[in-house]
Amino acid sequence: MLSQWWRDAVVYQVYPRSFADGSGDGTGDFAGALARLPYLADLGVEAVWFSPFYPSPLADGGYDVADYCDVDPRFGTLADFDAFVAAAAGHGIRVIVDIVPNHCSSAHPAFQAALEAGPGSPERDLFIFRDQPNNWQSIFGGPAWTQVADGQWYLHLFDSSQPDWNWRNPAVPAMFEKVIRFWLDRGVAGLRVDVAHGLFKDPDLPDVPDPAPSDRPSPWFHRPELIGHYASWRAILDSYSPDVFPGERTAVGEFWGTEITHLEPYFRPGGMPQAFNFFLFQTAWDAAALRHTITTSIGLAAESDVVAPWVISNHDVVRPVTRYGGGPLAARDLDVDVALGTRRARAAALLLLALPGSAYVYQGEELGLPEVIDIPDAFRDDPVFHRTGGARLGRDGCRVPIPWSGASKPYGFTEAESTWLPQPTTWGPLTVEAQQADPGSTLNLYKRAIAARPRGGGFAWLDRGDDVIAFTRGDGFTCVVNLSAETLPVEGEVILASGPLEGGLPQDTAVWLRS
Ligand code: GLC
């Protein structure tokens, strides 16, 4: 295999609004990201995935795309994007862009034309317009249909500002083929495909007995047409530089399911090269549950050439420190034990980076940032918060701008006085600057783990007790995560530990050993 770099890579997710601001307006951008490229190189990541930076009203943080082939002026220009790709390549870092094929923004010219053209027009057929809605609900809360001035309704699985494309109209796949070629031609190494289990809907648009949105197979998710569709994208990816680097270009699908079996269809050869494995972060901090998840995940990938990158965090979920320190973020009055959450999140990092295959790290995860749960309502931006009347807090708490340096806000993120989402006053000790100076920091743990992680080699479970996760990776490398209350003996030469080894391996601590 010449260069299927993505089989075994650590990929860093940048949420552009919140990574680094170069223009001084309080919102992140490409100039800021370029200036922080040495940080990413030092961290040792092999690729950067950018969440959307395209022209957008930002009704859903950019996942509402108004033009798939440009850069929103708030983030810079196409030239800034090219400059980032070129500079990143100089550090051996590849770039992955986010393709959003399920829906666009209502500001997209095609949707505006569809509104203008009226019922029955070819323009409307690019979207899903009907005279009557069905009973489907939006994933963000409320109905999945919105009525327009002439009485018709359009489908939007997400916000009303995100109309779903009609993938059964051949003009839609044809348009997206141009979009992916546009970015591949610009030198990107891969695509992250948003809501990859969406796109095709049951043509009958049937009412469902339980209209509550779910990631189960349904008339709107996991339709069989996706398999052939992704095979066609795979052929495009593989057509790039086939003689030099076969399989150099990649794509990773955002496939959510409620059962791991829901992902089975995507593991047939010849489709999407990678399918995110979200089951690790959906699993409680419980050894038996984690073992089950890891076993089933590895089993799924083992019979296939599809890679399922491991994830404990991204821009849609509660940050690990908070999740492991207080449970799921359902309410505002969360009783979070940040010290406990931090200890577990650090142990989870060594688990993540020891598992076979590739791993994605979401910006700020390497700093051990907690979820910000007390953002004032007036600043909340996520449509999930607004569409549920605040019943669901939404995802702003994991999207707060990164603290880079200094003891007070905005912690070197921007030259402006404030950031687009307010930062907490307590992040001084969590800045990159503070953590670089502390050998025991979470940042230094990630950096050392990325450098020392096992590559290749098999995977085999070791039995160290019910509440212990222990496995080997090839000869001589062992990972042990102690979830039991007892301190365990440490047998072997320590490569790295997620916390102090006080007379052994304490609870909620992980160690990598060379034997
Ligand atoms: C994906 C994105 C999420 C977005 C949604 C709708 O799940 O990760 O941030 O809100 O799609 O585009």
Can you give the pLDDT at residue 327? 60
- 36 Cβ contact partners less than 8 Å away, ≥ 6 residues apart: 19, 20, 404
Give the whole-angstrom CA distance, residue 388 versus residue 391.
5
Gap from CA of 170 to ligand 1 centroid (Å): 24
Find out whether 153 and 133 touch, Cβ atoms under 8 Å: yes
Find out whether the beta carbon of 194 lies less than 6 Å from any atom of ligand 1. yes
Mean pLDDT of 328-348: 80
The confidence band for 331, taking pLDDT boundaries of 50, 70 and 90, is very low
- Which is the closest atom of ligand 1 to the Cα of 395? 9
**Cis peptide, bond prior to residue 489, ω within 30 of zero:** no
- 320 Cβ contact partners less than 8 Å away, ≥ 6 residues apart: 281, 312, 313, 341, 344, 345, 348, 365
Nearest to 62 by CA among 22, 95, 18: 18
Question: Coil, helix or strand for 29?
Answer: coil
* Active-site hit among 60, 164, 248, 254: 254
Condensed to tens digits (0 to 9), the pLDDT of residues 361-372 reads 999 999 999 999
Find out whether 190 and 250 touch, Cβ atoms under 8 Å: yes
Sign for the pseudo-dihedral over CA of 290, 293, 296, 302: negative
Q: Residue 41 corresponds to which amino acid?
A: A
Gap from CA of 195 to ligand 1 centroid (Å): 7
Q: Running DSSP on this structure, what letter comes out for residue 393?
A: -
Condensed to tens digits (0 to 9), the pLDDT of residues 125-173 reads 999 999 999 999 999 999 999 999 999 999 999 999 999 999 999 999 9
**Is 80 exceeded by the pLDDT of residue 41?**
yes
**Ligand 1: which of 14, 17, 60 to mutate, most ligand atoms within 8 Å of CB?**
60
Find out whether the beta carbon of 256 lies less than 6 Å from any atom of ligand 1. no
- 399 Cβ contact partners less than 8 Å away, ≥ 6 residues apart: 15, 17, 18, 61, 315, 381, 382, 421
Could you confirm whether 42 is annotated as catalytic?
no
Can you give the pLDDT at residue 1? 44
When mean pLDDT is compared over 1-10, 17-26, 326-335, the highest value belongs to 17-26
**Is 90 exceeded by the pLDDT of residue 344?**
yes
- What six digits make up the tokens of 275? 């399918």
Its pTM stands at 0.97
Can you give the pLDDT at residue 326? 80
Summarize the chain as % helix, strand, coil (round to 5).
30, 15, 55
Q: How many CB atoms lie within 10 A of CB 148?
A: 15
Condensed to tens digits (0 to 9), the pLDDT of residues 429-478 reads 999 999 999 999 999 999 999 999 999 889 999 999 999 999 999 889 99
- 323 Cβ contact partners less than 8 Å away, ≥ 6 residues apart: 281, 317, 329, 341, 371
Q: Residue 419 corresponds to which amino acid?
A: T
Q: How many CB atoms lie within 10 A of CB 200?
A: 20
Condensed to tens digits (0 to 9), the pLDDT of residues 161-209 reads 999 999 999 999 999 999 999 999 999 999 999 999 999 999 999 999 9
Beta bridge mates, 478: 472, 513
Could you confirm whether 417 is annotated as catalytic?
no
What average pLDDT does the chain have?
A: 95
Side-chain-side CA neighbours of residue 378 (13 Å): 1
Find out whether the beta carbon of 371 lies less than 6 Å from any atom of ligand 1. no
Dihedral angle over CA of 70, 92, 459, 299, nearest 10? 20
Gap from CA of 162 to ligand 1 centroid (Å): 11
Find out whether 83 and 30 touch, Cβ atoms under 8 Å: yes
Of all protein residues, the one whose alpha carbon is nearest to atom 7 of ligand 1 is 195
Of all protein residues, the one whose alpha carbon is nearest to atom 9 of ligand 1 is 316
**Is 90 exceeded by the pLDDT of residue 211?**
no
Condensed to tens digits (0 to 9), the pLDDT of residues 66-109 reads 999 999 999 999 999 999 999 999 999 999 999 999 999 999 99
Mean pLDDT of 316-331: 79
Find out whether 307 and 273 touch, Cβ atoms under 8 Å: yes
Can you give the pLDDT at residue 330? 45
Gap from CA of 160 to ligand 1 centroid (Å): 14
Nearest to 197 by CA among 156, 253, 154, 145: 253
**Is 70 exceeded by the pLDDT of residue 359?**
yes
**Ligand 1: which of 96, 316, 317 to mutate, most ligand atoms within 8 Å of CB?**
316
Q: Residue 26 corresponds to which amino acid?
A: G
The confidence band for 3, taking pLDDT boundaries of 50, 70 and 90, is low
The confidence band for 308, taking pLDDT boundaries of 50, 70 and 90, is very high
Gap from CA of 27 to ligand 1 centroid (Å): 19
Give the whole-angstrom CA distance, residue 113 versus residue 119.
12
Nearest to 492 by CA among 514, 466, 469, 465: 514
Find out whether 88 and 181 touch, Cβ atoms under 8 Å: no
- Strand pairing report for 274-275 and 145-147: unpaired
Sign for the pseudo-dihedral over CA of 64, 68, 70, 75: positive
Q: How many residues does the chain have?
A: 515
Dihedral angle over CA of 7, 40, 310, 318, nearest 10? -160
Find out whether the beta carbon of 60 lies less than 6 Å from any atom of ligand 1. yes
State how far the alpha carbon of 212 is from the alpha carbons of 137, 141, 209, 216, in Å.
6, 9, 9, 11
**Percent of the chain residues topping a pLDDT of 90:** 89
Q: What H or E segment, with its residue span, contains residue 359?
A: strand 359-362
Find out whether the beta carbon of 164 lies less than 6 Å from any atom of ligand 1. no
**Ligand 1: which of 17, 195, 255, 384 to mutate, most ligand atoms within 8 Å of CB?**
195
- What six digits make up the tokens of 12? 């860093």
* Active-site hit among 194, 366, 381, 382: 194
Can you give the pLDDT at residue 243? 62
The confidence band for 515, taking pLDDT boundaries of 50, 70 and 90, is confident
- Strand pairing report for 274-275 and 250-253: parallel
Can you give the pLDDT at residue 244? 57
The confidence band for 303, taking pLDDT boundaries of 50, 70 and 90, is confident
- What six digits make up the tokens of 83? 């400059």
Q: Residue 511 corresponds to which amino acid?
A: V
Gap from CA of 19 to ligand 1 centroid (Å): 18
Beta bridge mates, 164: 103
Mean pLDDT of 296-311: 91
